[in-house]
Structure 1
Amino acid sequence: MIRSKVSAAGLRVVLFAAAALSVIPMLWLVLAPSKPRSTFSTYAPLAFGSFENYGVAWANLMSFQDGIVLRWAWNSVWYTAAIVVIATASAVAAGYALAATAIPFRRTLVTITLIMMLVPSVALVLPLFLQATALGLYNSPWSVILISALNPFGVFLAYIHFSTAVPRELYEAARLDGATEMGLFARIAVPLSRGISAMIAFFAFTAAWVNYFLPYVLLGRGESYPLPVGLGVLFSATPALTPAAGTNTLPIGRPEIALAGLVVALPILFVFLASSRLLTRGAFAGAVKS
């Protein structure tokens, strides 16, 4: 009895410490723009300055290259939206095909999907760059969108869902009733895949929103950059972070950098909170087979 109480108390301490390590950096990111740049270092790390300083930090951020940060933000929004739609639709369709149809070499395709999940994305950057260049897509947003929409992890999630959570008898009964494969997919598979689709969309959104290396390689123009790449340009031009930038007169300091980081981080948090119920449903979709 005493041992179990000690174990429970120890578990709570570990969970609390893990939660604190996760929350404190985000809390600092929220509070840092509230402090004036001139006296930033005199404040405690988690101290609050004033709401007016958020406006000052935003105005300073907008002064960089005539407000190009807004252009980067818009690029991130539409790149990510296109990637999420294409990645989710293609992953659900491919997962259904692998799990519920008799396509040739099905096991081989599942194995290839697993292998592609294990290959580091950095290792594929050079061949993807050469492929995009050969197709005339270099410096085009569609090079980033189409390549990022290739989602082996999403395909595997959908494959597991359709293999375990949806009874095969349901597919067979629909086929006996004369349903075509497209009709079966649209009327049975898609309505039953809402949870797993939300999970695939969330992972696709997270990966696309913070993607840095691929857009950096495939996009050569600053106005085409998404936020992560654009903020890299901003950071490299800021003496507060990059001493090699010299002593330029940009009014960019640690409050502005923290605000820029907050702009990148908040959408992921909002999307997670808005879709948490569907994500939970997707996580347990295959736990019990009907």
Structure 2
Amino acid sequence: MAVPATRHDHPPSRRAAESARRAAGRSLRLGFLLACAIFFGLPVTWLLLAATKTQTSIFSDHPLSVGSFGNIAQGWSNLLTFNDGELVGWIWNSLYYAGSSVVIAVFLSVPAGYALAKYDFAGRKALLVLTLIGMIIPTAALVLPLYLQMNALGLLGTPASVILPLAFYPFAVYLCYVYCTTSLPDSLLEAARVDGASEATLFFRIVLPLSKPVIGMIFFFSFVHAWTNFFLPFVMLSDDRTFNLQVGLMMLLQSTDAINAEGGFSALPIHQPEAALAALVAVAPVLVAFVFAQRYLTASDVSGAEKG
């Protein structure tokens, strides 16, 4: 007697085909991620290894070979031969410019973003639109007006001509505005007002503690913005003793044969390995800032702050 066919005869083959498609999808994703890792990781790896080599070995050895770590100390010593160690002064200048602008940016942007998010006042929408416009205007387009402004104030060539424009960071204001709008419930603030909290107490005792994630993000992004800025210090500063690291390294590399074999001064012992080491020195503070701020780069959970 023939056994009638049932609807369960083919599912195993369909499940096998579905598993094969999922496996193929995973393989494609892993392959794409691996290709991206190789494409972006190889230059960084080469930069790290180049600082451990000598001028001769950087061309003769395998690109991914490791040199001597003693060459790093020698390379740093060679960098300090430029203008009697002016590189150290540029590093301190960069830390001063970036640190000062970050403090001012955080001090101004957090209350500004909070006010735009939680208070209804005349001109609120206009200020928000101006903040968005300030975000989309290219920095290079503002350099000439800022130059004229600093010149009119008598600040041209001083640290203030770099710090004050860098502290003007509309993105930080908008970031804080979005955070306060989405992550600080009005009911929590109203409950504090009902309990008798003043607006100052509300801001310092409730808003600031709950805003640590966005403050960490503002710190990180404003520091990166200030540390990596080249065009503004290049235009504002004329004395090489006041240069930040980005502008100073440009002058250093143009004055040696590290990347300028024809116009550089070959008598200085600064070549490609020293240029790689200088690039690592310029990148290192950004990595340190990320390590410091990454604990705050997560969304805060304020749901438990309200009573059920």
Question: Identity percentage over the alignment?
Answer: 43
**2:167 counterpart of 1:149:** yes
The 1-side partners of 2:305 and 2:36 are apart by 33
Match of 2:3 in 1: none
The 2-side partners of 1:247 and 1:75 are apart by 25
Q: SS at 2:211's partner residue? A: helix
Q: CA deviation at 1:36?
A: 1.1
**2:240 counterpart of 1:222:** yes
Q: CA deviation at 1:232?
A: 0.5
Contact kept, 8 Å, 1:132 with 1:138, in 2: the verdict is yes
Q: 1:34 aligns with which of 39, 52, 60?
A: 52
Match of 2:91 in 1: 73
Structure with the bigger RCO (C-alpha within 8 Å, sep 6+) is 1
Q: 1:176 aligns with which of 178, 189, 194?
A: 194
Runs of 5+ consecutive residues of structure 2 not aligned to the other structure:
1-17
Q: 1:9 aligns with which of 15, 22, 27?
A: 27
The 1-side partners of 2:247 and 2:303 are apart by 39
Match of 1:108 in 2: 126
Q: CA deviation at 1:102?
A: 2.2
Q: CA deviation at 1:206?
A: 0.8
Q: Which amino acid aligns with 1:88?
A: V
Contact kept, 8 Å, 1:82 with 1:145, in 2: the verdict is yes
Q: Per-residue displacement from partner, 1:27-79 (whole Å, max 9, x unpaired)?
A: 21211111111332101212111011111111110000000000001111111
Q: CA deviation at 1:289?
A: 11
Q: CA deviation at 1:246?
A: 4.4
Q: CA deviation at 1:180?
A: 2.5
Bigger mean CA offset, 272-281 vs 1-10: 272-281
Q: Which amino acid aligns with 2:139?
A: S
The 2-side partners of 1:225 and 1:164 are apart by 41
Q: Which amino acid aligns with 2:67?
A: G
The 2-side partners of 1:144 and 1:247 are apart by 30
Q: 2:107 aligns with which of 83, 89, 92?
A: 89
Q: CA deviation at 1:163?
A: 0.6
**2:208 counterpart of 1:190:** yes
Contact kept, 8 Å, 1:212 with 1:229, in 2: the verdict is yes
**2:181 counterpart of 1:163:** yes
Match of 1:240 in 2: 258
Q: Which runs of 4+ in 1 moved over 3 A?
A: 285-290
Residues 42 and 289 from structure 1, CA distance in 2 versus in 1: closer, same or farther, beyond 3 angstroms?
farther
Q: Per-residue displacement from partner, 1:149-172 (whole Å, max 9, x unpaired)?
A: 111111011001111101011222
Q: Which amino acid aligns with 1:111?
A: V
The 2-side partners of 1:287 and 1:170 are apart by 10
The 2-side partners of 1:267 and 1:41 are apart by 29
Match of 2:11 in 1: none
Q: Which has the larger radius of gyration?
A: 2
Map 1:260-279 onto structure 2 (within 5 A).
260-279=278-297
Q: SS at 1:280's partner residue? A: coil
Q: Which amino acid aligns with 1:102?
A: D
The 2-side partners of 1:11 and 1:34 are apart by 34
Q: CA deviation at 1:221?
A: 0.7
Q: CA deviation at 1:270?
A: 2.4
The 2-side partners of 1:7 and 1:286 are apart by 38
**2:158 counterpart of 1:140:** yes
The 2-side partners of 1:226 and 1:177 are apart by 50
Q: Which amino acid aligns with 1:183?
A: T
The 1-side partners of 2:119 and 2:93 are apart by 38
Contact kept, 8 Å, 2:217 with 2:296, in 1: the verdict is yes
The 2-side partners of 1:246 and 1:213 are apart by 23
